[in-house]
Amino acid sequence: MTGHWIRVMESWISSDLKLTVVSKNSDPRMGESTMRLRNINRSEPDPALFGVPADDQIVDENGEKVEIRITHP
């Protein structure tokens, strides 16, 4: 069959992670590509990554400083 091409797309999805962990694409015009999710770390992230830096300031539209206190239950 001249002039016909077949594109094949394959995805492996982790039901536990609810993410695509492997995606393969084969297209005669573009070649083949593979994407793999690797080095998955399922531990809790360091809470410090989500903290507000100590020197951050919130300024209202009038340019005045606003104090915000974060308390933990």
Annotated domain spans of the chain = 8-66
The model's pLDDT over 37-73, given as tens digits with 9 standing for 90+, comes to 999 999 999 988 888 888 887 766 676 666 777 777 6
Query: 15, 38, 37, 34: which is closest to 26 by C-alpha?
Result: 34
Residue 35: name the closest of 14, 16, 11, 17 by CA. 11
Q: What is the pLDDT of residue 3?
A: 67
| Contact status, residue 54 vs residue 60, Cβ threshold 8 Å | no
Looking at per-residue pLDDT, the higher value among 22 and 58 belongs to 22
Q: What is the mean pLDDT of residues 12-35?
A: 93
Q: Is pTM beyond 0.95 here? A: no
CA R_g for the chain = 24
Which pairing describes strands 31-36 and 19-27: parallel, antiparallel, or unpaired? Answer: antiparallel
